Structure 1
Amino acid sequence: MPRRHIRVTGAPEAPLRAALTALRTELGVPQTYPPQASADAGTPPVLPSYDATDIPLFTIDPPASTDLDQAMHLSRRGTGYRVRYAIADVAAFVVPGSALDAETHRRVMTLYFPDEKVPLHPVSLSEGAASLLPDRTRPAALWTIDLDADGRTVSVDVRRALVRSRAKLTYEGMQKEIDAKTAEEPLVLLEVIGRLREALEVERGGISLNVPEQEIVERDGTYELTYRAALPADGWNAQISLLTGMAAADLMLAHGTGVLRTLPAAPDGAVGRLRRTAHALHIDWPHHMSYAALIRSLDPHVAHHAAFLQECTTLLRGAGYTVFRDGVLPDITTHAAVAAPYAHCTAPLRRLADRYASEICLAAMAGEPVPDWVLAAFDALPREMAEGGRRAGAVERACVDIVEAALLKDRVGEVFDGCVVEVEERRPTVGVVQLESPAVIGRVEGAGLSLGERLRVRLTQADPEPAPTVRFVPA
């Protein structure tokens, strides 16, 4: 199946709740926080002495988000730029070896369901005391990254600091301000720096997949699935996070101890398969054009381009966490899609490994030894993150399947317009169709399926329970 990404903007009503509750039980998702771990979340944090509350930081997140990991401020510095990026200091709240610490290692990641989320940390922490909410003073790991006129990194600093966000912005609102030329200087610079960093990404051969998301939206008391392609502002914001993750990786590599996010280069066979898929989807891919250049030429609003971008995510399989210490570097230190060393360090409220990467960077910058509690977790951390990633992927796929089946269960027999985005090589009568509306991707069975073909299909089955199933046949 094509990879699918779900972004929830509304809460579906009762018809889905039983299926989603059963899914959480099936996957062993924890329902409540243990009492002692919840009590630990109330432990007063260790606050830094450095006060950076004068920096007018702002956050960029979906409207309903309250677990805010990052806040930024951008300014000019001579002919170049200064990026200030504050990351929630979760380690200031979590005592190593405590019940809360143990529970985060059990959960590993925040899990998102259409009706609720299962947080990595208690809500009192992730959406309260540690979250970089506006007009609240919070402890943070404050990155200061100076760039030259081309957006290249000149210097890096990270230290613990007290910070205070001034505003909570949304992607859509920010994009409107930038497009209308009414944005203040820091937002104007987000576009400027974002475009410079995107150009450097092209130069080094990196790839940012602009994959459309399936989005659950509430309308008039009900809900539906739509496709959402990322805004340019999404990409510019992501470049700031990538910049910080690359700086963190370089810092850890120089220090000789760290935890990297790595991805081996795709094997030749995988790229060859994508070339065949591109041909079938009527996408022109000249042999002299690199894979990265092709990706940047595609428009996710065009159906067959969106289908190809979904298939491109198969090259991202194999990403993992690589730990190293005592100056012994691993065989692979780069992330193939980033085309540089890279580390996850900007989402510690929602991802366990980021707390450890942040702590190593703080120690490296200060010229201090990495704390013992960080090294004690090293051996198990890659396995824990891999298991957590598999669970998060299973949740995402199952939630989309359940929602699709629930939305279509009363429409069996109807005909829809779609595009064939996958055909099985061994069984050419079985494939996958992506509907134009609603935003559903489902199995189709019938003679004569052709990859990339626009096709009218009839819905023959839509069962949310016990196993969510959606089936189509050519109409």
Structure 2
Amino acid sequence: MSKRAVQAGAAADVLAPYLEQLRAELEIPVDYPADALAEAEAAAAQTFDVAQGDARQDLRDLPFVTLDPVGSRDLDQAFFLRRVEAAEGGGAHGAAAYEVLYAIADVAAFVEPGGALDAETHRRALTVYGPDGRFGLHPAVLSEGAASLLPDVDRPAVVWRMRLDASGELLDDIDVRRSMVRSRAQLDYGSVQRQLDDGSAGELLLLLAEIGQLRIDAQFDRGGATLEVPDQEIERSEDGSRYRLVLREPLASEEFNAQLSLLTGIAAARLHRRAGVGIWRTLDEARVEDVERLRRVATALGFDWSPSTSYAEFVRTIDPSRPEYAAFATEATRLFRGAGYAAFGTPENPDVPSGASHSAIAAEYAHVTAPLRRLVDRYGTEIALAYCAGREVPSWVVDALDALPGEMADGSQRANAYERGTVDLLEAVLLGPLVSEELDGIVVESSPTGGADGRRAKATVLLRDPAVRARVVGDASALELGAPVVVRVESADPDKRTVTLSVVSPSQAPRRG
């Protein structure tokens, strides 16, 4: 195998015209209309002064921090965590052990309802990320500047104050207010994980891990479960001149941080229910037949999944270091498909829905923690603010709710297609120099082709270097789910963003089972 060709990566200038073509095909918005950009620039220039009577609580004395991937500039969330003293923990709401303050960028303070910028955000719905940059829901002057919770500057924010009991359960005394905050540090997942691993983490990060693990446990106890599939990511060189594909295992620090966001989304759904107005993120329960199919897959891969054990209980027992893990995790993603949004409290949908929970989380849930990057969050946040303030939900919020599920679906479809297209493109470019070479992989999806002899199968093979997922058709005996396999690169076409592989032989690498 030609390691040098893989390690060199793909030159950014080679990919640039292909990426531009892909954006044009998918109608990914790049530039902002002049009137929308002018509104963003004017909004970024405004000032927020608590001392002069702005209706915000001043929380700038609290040492909030952000936690994101290295180099992020669109910072939606900052957190501050503390233990609650015994004397503070009593009262009508039960005994609190932890307090979570979660600051979210106050995007509504910068976007005028009904204005040109508002209209443009509804057209985009989401920020789209690619190897050569981000194509934002909002112009960078806001998303990477005035509205972003960057360190060492005062920022308007919406702060969620949530209390948890000793088991990590969310108590009912949830409060949401417009505030002013000042982040003390911009942390990244890798450095936080190293501090947690080597014992140098301070009290705030130890609390993050403690609360995060409690919330993970609570999610499983509710019957929710998530199984992390190794991420196929595009990695950019420091100078930005080259790209390569890598497989990256999520860090524990990422999951702990994600649990704070999920906690806030669950809190938001509670407030929406109380208000009788809301928009929830939903995901239907997995079908019984799909769970049974996955159970058969697990058995074929050598996993011991007893009939009396639920999916949520079983996934906690899986060792991610097993080579079959990637195959099982890929198959498990089929359980939870068809995520959407449910709006209510509107003339079209007046009633609070029943059975509209998010099955992977096993709770009612709303998106409110990423308003710089996701349109719906601005609306979910305003509903919670109105409820906590004891006032009516603004009409501009209610009037937009029924259209939001469709707008978000369209935006998600574009973003997902662009993400998949960029990976397909990079796979084709990286494998171009390796045509006719043989590479090791593992079968992560496999099904019969329906041919006359019944001995053929179509499969997805995951290569480790480069980190490529590609379709292949071959002898069914060589393409069993989870099997190591050797494939030959037959073709790689960047114009069509396609790769063709053929099966050479089963790999000699032993399977663990």
423, 429, 437: which one pairs with 2:446?
423
Distance in structure 1 (CA, Å) of the matches to 2:163 and 2:402 = 34
Q: Which moved more, 1:326-335 or 1:222-231?
A: 326-335
Distance in structure 2 (CA, Å) of the matches to 1:301 and 1:160 = 45
Write the mapping of 1:45-56 to structure 2, written as runs, cut at 5 A. 45=46, 47=48, 48-56=55-63
Q: Which amino acid aligns with 2:266?
A: M
Provide the identity percentage.
50
1:246 maps onto 2:274 in alignment: no
Q: Which amino acid aligns with 2:423?
A: V
Q: Which moved more, 1:99-108 or 1:387-396?
A: 387-396
Distance in structure 1 (CA, Å) of the matches to 2:391 and 2:47 = 18
Shift of 1:166: 0.5
In structure 2, the residue matched to 1:4 is none
Q: Which amino acid aligns with 1:169?
A: L
Shift of 1:379: 1.6
For structure 1, which runs of at least 5 residues remain unmatched after alignment?
A: 1-9
Distance in structure 1 (CA, Å) of the matches to 2:316 and 2:222 = 14
In structure 2, the residue matched to 1:64 is 71
In structure 1, the residue matched to 2:219 is 201
In structure 2, the residue matched to 1:454 is 484
SS of 1:160's equivalent in the other structure is strand
Shift of 1:273: 2.3
Distance in structure 2 (CA, Å) of the matches to 1:156 and 1:181 = 33
Q: Residue by residue, what CA displacement relative to the aligned partner does 1:73-98 show, whole Å, maximum 9, x if unpaired?
A: 11111251111100000000000000
Distance in structure 2 (CA, Å) of the matches to 1:141 and 1:189 = 22
Shift of 1:242: 0.7
Write the mapping of 1:176-215 to structure 2, written as runs, cut at 5 A. 176-215=194-233
Write the mapping of 1:321-470 to structure 2, written as runs, cut at 5 A. 321-325=341-345, 328-427=351-450, 428-448=456-476, 449-465=479-495, 467-470=496-499
For structure 2, which runs of at least 5 residues remain unmatched after alignment?
A: 1-8, 49-54, 87-96, 451-455, 505-513
Shift of 1:12: 5.2
Shift of 1:289: 1.4
Q: Residue by residue, what CA displacement relative to the aligned partner does 1:272-294 show, whole Å, maximum 9, x if unpaired?
A: 22223223333322211111122
Runs in 1 of length 4+ with deviation above 6 angstroms? none
Q: Cα–Cα, structure 1 residues 37 and 24, in superposed 2: closer, same or farther, change >3 Å?
A: same
Q: Which moved more, 1:352-361 or 1:73-82?
A: 73-82
Contact 1:212 1:300 in 2 (8 A): no
In structure 2, the residue matched to 1:169 is 187
Contact 1:344 1:354 in 2 (8 A): yes
Q: Which moved more, 1:37-46 or 1:142-151?
A: 37-46
In structure 1, the residue matched to 2:509 is none
Count of aligned positions:
465
Q: Which amino acid aligns with 2:440?
A: D
Q: Which moved more, 1:106-115 or 1:417-426?
A: 417-426
Distance in structure 1 (CA, Å) of the matches to 2:474 and 2:165 = 57
Shift of 1:219: 5.2
Q: Cα–Cα, structure 1 residues 397 and 192, in superposed 2: closer, same or farther, change >3 Å?
A: same
Q: Residue by residue, what CA displacement relative to the aligned partner does 1:337-376 show, whole Å, maximum 9, x if unpaired?
A: 1101001100000000000000000001111100011011
SS of 1:409's equivalent in the other structure is helix
Larger radius of gyration: 2
Q: Residue by residue, what CA displacement relative to the aligned partner does 1:413-437 show, whole Å, maximum 9, x if unpaired?
A: 1111111111233444321111122
Distance in structure 2 (CA, Å) of the matches to 1:68 and 1:278 = 39
Write the mapping of 1:218-257 to structure 2, written as runs, cut at 5 A. 218=236, 222-257=242-277
Q: Which amino acid aligns with 1:82?
A: E
Q: Please report the TM-score for the alignment, with normalisation by the length of structure 1.
A: 0.94
Shift of 1:117: 1.2
In structure 1, the residue matched to 2:29 is 30
Instruction: State the superposition RMSD in angstroms.
Output: 1.7
Q: Which amino acid aligns with 1:356?
A: Y
Contact 1:58 1:166 in 2 (8 A): yes
Q: Please report the TM-score for the alignment, with normalisation by the length of structure 2.
A: 0.88
Shift of 1:225: 1.4
Q: Which amino acid aligns with 1:438?
A: P
Shift of 1:306: 1.7
Contact 2:10 2:242 in 1 (8 A): no
Distance in structure 1 (CA, Å) of the matches to 2:321 and 2:254 = 15
Shift of 1:386: 1.0
Q: Cα–Cα, structure 1 residues 21 and 300, in superposed 2: closer, same or farther, change >3 Å?
A: farther
Q: Which amino acid aligns with 1:272?
A: E
Q: Residue by residue, what CA displacement relative to the aligned partner does 1:245-265 show, whole Å, maximum 9, x if unpaired?
A: 000001110111001001111
Distance in structure 2 (CA, Å) of the matches to 1:85 and 1:76 = 15
Shift of 1:308: 1.4
Q: Which moved more, 1:119-128 or 1:291-300?
A: 291-300
Distance in structure 2 (CA, Å) of the matches to 1:74 and 1:442 = 44
Shift of 1:195: 1.1
